[in-house]
Amino acid sequence: MGAPPTAAAVWGRAEQQDFRSRVRGTLLGGALGDTLGAPLDESSGGDTAPGDTVGTQLVPAYGRVGAVTAATQLSLFTVDGLIRAQVRRDAGAWHPPTDVHRAYLRWAATQRDWGPDERRKEDGWLAREEWLYSRRGAAQSLLLGLGNDVMGTLDRPKNPEDAGPEAVARSAPFGLLVGWEPQLVIQLAVECAVHTHGAPEAYLAAGAHAVIVHAVARGDSLDAAVQRALALLAARPGHQRVTDALQHALGAVRQGLPTGARVMELVDDGNAAGVLAAAVYCALVGEDVRHGLRLAVHHGGPSAQVGSVCGALLGALHGETALPPAWIVELEGRPTILELADDFSMEMTQGPALHGPSGSSPGWLARYPRA
């Protein structure tokens, strides 16, 4: 990744509060879309009519109400890895893809271990959250890509033919690096996507999702954010499927009232480009967050993936207070999600007060060890 980005201007109180609301909104929104879609995926009933119960209120999946899938789990570990990258920079280590990969390996351990190993203090606090030790529909590409310690790179990606949507669904947190330039954001998301997905469609869609979140988190409209993503993608080999899908989504906005059939047309084969396009469309045409998320999960494709991506976009755009409170209160892992979101916000706005050459908070380093 080269040298770390230079520090942004000093954050005022209003800017910090707005940023924290968008970080919370991104993580909670992604989790809400995930949990709304999970019952549809689990029952293979994604073509349920929008008036039905599923998708209008939280219903059970994986044995409980409000359950999230591997998409949310990995999004949280993405945030954990990004914080660890900032902390480890003090020790002269700066390679965020490595830190994010280590975080993904900690997630992979939750899929095979019975519970957290309290002796492994270097794992940090997130890996000790017992509720994360649940198998929630993780795709084979994730388990294979993270099945050993070898890190995928652009030169040697894991699962080089896999164009699935899983890397897209975990990539919103890269967009919350609002002090970075968009070119660096998309590059980091791409480099971390190839830890599990090596097809250009998959890693470029992940990069596009990140840079769209980045633009709206900095105050751009969603339409302008998509246009920025299209401009950045145009210079990258293999971009055509992703750019075509996003342009299709923008065109669909002008084709009348949104329907499940139109969302399914955008989803296409259910791979990365289609999931991103459908999520962008639903975020653009939704009358509010609730309507956008209902659209995102009611179709015959991967409901949790589209819902997760759409929810992250809407949360970054509007902040946490726009999310339906009756859904949030039943969301699995909400205390953890909020705690992690606030930690990320503090790290990005007040990192030097938490760790640095002049001194560090022992409590912060216990949560995010430099090891």
Q: Name beta bridge partners: 64.
A: 61
Pairing outcome for strands 64-65 and 60-61: antiparallel
Summarize the confidence of residues 298-314 as an average pLDDT.
96
Separation of alpha carbons 185 and 192, rounded Å: 11
pLDDT digits (tens, 9 = 90+) for 164-192: 999 999 999 999 999 999 999 999 999 99
Is 361 flagged in the annotation as binding? no
Summarize the confidence of residues 234-260 as an average pLDDT.
96
Separation of alpha carbons 9 and 38, rounded Å: 40
Q: Name beta bridge partners: 60.
A: 65
Summarize the confidence of residues 35-43 as an average pLDDT.
89
- For the cut 60, the answer to whether the pLDDT of residue 328 exceeds it is yes
Closest CA to 23 of 203, 188, 216, 169: 216
Q: Name beta bridge partners: 65.
A: 60
The amino acid that residue 274 corresponds to is G
Output b/e per residue, 346-371; b: 16+ Cβ within 10 A.
bbbbebeebbeeeeeeeebbebbbee
Read off the pLDDT band of 49 (50, 70, 90).
very low
Q: What is the pTM of this model?
A: 0.95
- For the cut 70, the answer to whether the pLDDT of residue 325 exceeds it is yes
pLDDT digits (tens, 9 = 90+) for 343-356: 999 999 999 999 98
Torsions phi, psi for 195 (to 5 deg)? -60, -25
pLDDT digits (tens, 9 = 90+) for 285-294: 999 999 999 9
Contact 91, 370 (CB under 8 A): yes
Cβ atoms < 10 Å from Cβ of 56: 15
Contact 168, 205 (CB under 8 A): yes
Token representation of residue 22 = 């968008």
Closest CA to 54 of 32, 38, 72, 30: 38
Separation of alpha carbons 3 and 306, rounded Å: 34
pLDDT of residue 5: 60
Separation of alpha carbons 63 and 72, rounded Å: 17
Separation of alpha carbons 25 and 341, rounded Å: 9
Superfamily (CATH H level) for 24-367: ADP-ribosylation/Crystallin J1 (1.10.4080.10)
CA 217, distance to chain mean position in Å, is: 13
Structural domain spans, the chain = 24-367
Token representation of residue 331 = 């969301």
Torsions phi, psi for 67 (to 5 deg)? -65, 140
Read off the pLDDT band of 3 (50, 70, 90).
low
Read off the pLDDT band of 208 (50, 70, 90).
very high
pLDDT digits (tens, 9 = 90+) for 119-155: 888 999 999 999 999 999 999 999 999 999 999 999 9
Token representation of residue 49 = 């009519």
pLDDT of residue 359: 83
Summarize the confidence of residues 35-55 as an average pLDDT.
64
Angle 259-287-186 (CA atoms, 0-180°, nearest 5)? 85
pLDDT of residue 10: 62
**Dihedral sign for Cα atoms in the order 98, 130, 41, 256:** negative
Cβ atoms < 10 Å from Cβ of 321: 9
Read off the pLDDT band of 47 (50, 70, 90).
very low
